[in-house]
Structures are given as C-alpha cells and as structure tokens.
Amino acid sequence: MSTDIRILSPCGMLGYGFPEKSFMNGMSQEPHGIVVDAGSTDGGPHKLGAGVSIVSKRAVKKDLGIMIPAGLSSGIPIIIGSAGGSGARTHVNWTLEIIDELLEEMNLQASITVIWADFSQQDIRQAREEGRIVSLSPNIPPLTEEAIAATNSIVAQMGHEPIVEALRGGADIIVCGRAYDPSPFAAIGIYHGKDPGLSYHLGKILECGALCAEPGTTKDSILGTIGDGYFTVQSLNPDRTCSETSVAAHTFYEKEHPYILHGPGFTLDLELCRFEESSPGVVRVSGSRYLPAETYRIKLEGARQTAYRTFVVAGIRDPILLGKLEAVQELVRSQAKDYYRDIPESDYEIRFYNYGMNGVLGSQEPEAFRGHEVGVMFEVVARTQELASSICATVRSTFLHYGYEGRKSTAGNLAFPFAPSDIEFGPVYAFSVYHLMESRPDVFTIEQR
C-alpha cells in the first residue's frame, strides 16, 4: 500500500486556540486523523501534584467544539494526548466531562476510548524492589521508598502501542492519559502501516502545532503527510511557511540532544535526516531512524507536596538602600531567624528575588547592577501555611523598618503595590518521580466507554 497518510494538528496545546480557517484548510485535505497534544511538564510540578489544568475549561471546550464536529462528520478519529495537561486520572476525567458536555450541547454521538496512564504507589514500589527503575539524568537522585510514599499521583508516558490498539477498536475519540508527546501522532501513521521512525519524527514536529513554520507559533494548525520513505509538513495558514531550516531547527526544540531522541521503548536517530523543500512551503523529510531499545522502558512522572509558601512583592527606589540591598537582606534574614529561634531552621526557608538586579539568573548573573529601581519578591516556604505566613509577616515588617547603616528614609524601605502585602500561595510541589521504568507497552489500561 502506498497511500499517503495525512495528520492534522490544530495547535500545539489543546486550549491554546487556533484560527478556524487554518483548521478548515487542513480538513479540506481529507486528513486521516486529528491529533492534539494537551500535555507538558514545562509549567512545573504543580499541575500534576494538585490535579489541575494549565488551560481553562472554557478554552478547551472552544477548541474541541471545532475539532469534534469536524472529525465526527468526516469519520476520522480525534486523539487527545496527555489529557488535561498532566494526563493523570483527574486530568483525564476533567477532559471527559468537557467532551460529554459538548456532545450533549451539539446533539452528537461518539464512541470514546480512554487510555489510562496512572500507576499506583504499589506498582512503583514493586518495580523499585525488582530493580526496574533507573534515574533519567545524573542530577536526579535514585527513587526512594520515602519519595514513592509521599507521591500521590504517578503517571507514565505511553508509546504508540495502546493508541494503535484503540484505533483498531474503531473509536471516534481517543482520550489518552500521559503520553510521550509525539506518540498520539505516530499512532496514526503506524496504524496505517507507515514507518515508525518517520511517524515519530513527524509526531515530534506536529505536537507543537505550527511552531516549525516561520513565523512559528503553537497557536495555529499544521498538516503532516507520511508517504513511503519520507514525510512532508506544510503550513495551513498563508501567513506562515515551512522551510528546510525552520523544520530542521525545530528538531532541537526542548530536547536534550539535537538528533538523538529517546521515547518509550525506542531511540529516534535523526542524524542522517535530509530536509528538502519539495514544493513551495512543503518540506520533505527522510532518513529518520527508529531503533527499538533492548529493554522497553517508560518514563515515570510524579509530583509531591513539599511545603507551603507566602510571598510579598514590593518596589525599592531609595538609592542608598539599593547600594547595599543584598547585604541588608541578609541582616533582615538574620533578625527574622533570631526572632523565631524556637523553630527549627529546617522547617522553613526565606528567599529574596531582586528583579532589576539579578532576579532571573541569581548568582549566575554576570552583569553588575546599574539601575535606579528594583522589584523585590520575597518568599517564605515552610512546613505549614500558618508558619510560612507568620515568618513572612516578620520578614516583611523587619525589612520595611530595618535601620541600615547610612539610612536617610527613616519612614520605610518598601513600596507595596497592594494591601494586604502578604499573599498566601498555598502548597508548593516538586517533581519527586522522574525516572525510567522497565515495563511493557500493554501496561496502559484501555477502556471503551
């Protein structure tokens, strides 16, 4: 069979939005599937830990409100990868509720298949005891029993296998829990018998929407076509175009290596790829190689709550204080610590972020401060919210009135933009599981609703 397989990616993240015209241009090319990625760990551990989404329900509903009726009326599958952002049970259920609401409002019927990506603490504990878990990079500590016990939500990134299985089952809509971002795209190509290397490489490009075009954006649609021995990508908006370098350069994006990519059970080697413009704005890629791994491993992700935070934002304009700001902050810190000497130091941390000076780079900032104003954010992260707020209030009042050497502005050191000044942030999370687990492709549960 040498039928070309076309995949429409509406946008780089479900809920980011896309021009309906671009999407409809894609639909007019009769794609074999509509696939959208909804997930990322980029926004930090909070979404997975707290079970919330980074995009609004309103925005997801708006995007799906275009994709679902288009897919159903054309009889092609709609696949959502890493539903709800982190792809854990709560995130998948949140997405399913939105789909159900839409189908009812639009008076549409659809068969839905869900692929769950959750793993219990017991699953992970057993894998650890069997020596099936390894760290992903040298700076990630080995997984401990203590970390597993403290992590309520653990997911793993699925490969294409369970999604291909769901496609075989004939689902109209496939909602995936956490997936390796390119997997839902690769599943369409592989289901139709296309080369897995080309399918995954195309998936890696399509999962970001039109980011591989110029000007690049995640908020526009893109079309991928897999032939035999190559694939092509093209923009669906006349205001953007794909070029050899824009597509080749995209291979770099948010990966640790420019041409070696690791996915569930395989390595993708793109070193020998050729990128050619086959017709204006259409880039043809060949040479992507799929190398099955000797040991099938999947990536685990888990987030645990570590503390609570209270923070304050304030401005400083006094030139004398700015001249010795970091030294004064150390004195403020000491005074607050001394005041709370009854509390173990390990129960809390006080941090100052001096925006305008070195707020972004911290101690790695090479430039000397030359400004006349600094935005200060300071936080107290502590074992409980009450403790964080109490200590933060002391840091704030100490800093506000601190009588540093040479001070002339004896009425106060900080300009607060808001009253009250102290903001309770709530829980703080950390990625506590980010490891590879030796496993099998069929550990992801497929459920037909």
Q: Could you tell me the CA-to-CA distances from 55 to 15, 49, 86, 383 in Å, in that order?
A: 6, 16, 11, 29
Q: Is 434 in the site for other proteins (CB under 8 A)?
A: yes
In angstroms, what CA-CA distances link 51 with 62, 154, 308, 393?
Answer: 21, 11, 17, 29
294 binds other proteins (CB under 8 A): no
Q: Smallest distance from the beta carbon of 260 to other proteins, in angstroms?
A: 9
Q: Does 46 bind other proteins (CB under 8 A)?
A: yes
Q: Round to the nearest angstrom and report the end-to-end CA distance of the chain.
A: 32
Q: Look at residue 98 and give its three-state secondary structure.
A: helix
Q: Give yes or no for residue 448 binding other proteins (CB under 8 A).
A: no
By DSSP bridging, strand 33-37 and strand 5-9 are parallel
Tell whether residue 248 is a contact of other proteins (CB under 8 A): yes
Closest distance to other proteins from the beta carbon of 387 (Å): 14
Establish if 307 lies at the interface with other proteins (CB under 8 A): yes
Q: Which of 75, 131, 138, 344 binds other proteins (CB under 8 A)?
A: 138
Whole-angstrom CA distances from 217 to 156, 206, 407 are 28, 12, 50
Q: Measured from the CB atom, is 272 or 327 closer to other proteins?
A: 272
C-alpha dihedral sign at 199, 204, 34, 277: negative
Stretch of residues binding other proteins (CB under 8 A), selected from 289-297, 323-331, 347-355, 409-417: 347-355
By beta-carbon proximity to other proteins, the closer residue of 309 and 396 is 309
Closest CA to 8 of 243, 230, 23: 23
Which range binds other proteins by CB under 8 A, 116-124, 204-212, 226-234, 348-356? 348-356
Number of residues that bind other proteins (CB under 8 A): 46
Residues numbered 381 to 400 that lie near other proteins (CB under 8 A) are: 381
- Whether a cis peptide bond, with omega within 30° of 0, leads into 215 is yes
SS3 313: strand
364 binds other proteins (CB under 8 A): yes
Q: Does 419 bind other proteins (CB under 8 A)?
A: no
Residue among 329, 335, 366, 331 at smallest CA distance from 351: 329
Which residue, 138 or 406, has its beta carbon nearer to other proteins?
138
Q: Which residues contact other proteins by CB under 8 A?
A: 41-46, 136-140, 245, 248-249, 251-259, 271, 273-275, 306-307, 309, 349, 351, 353, 359-364, 366, 381, 428-431, 434
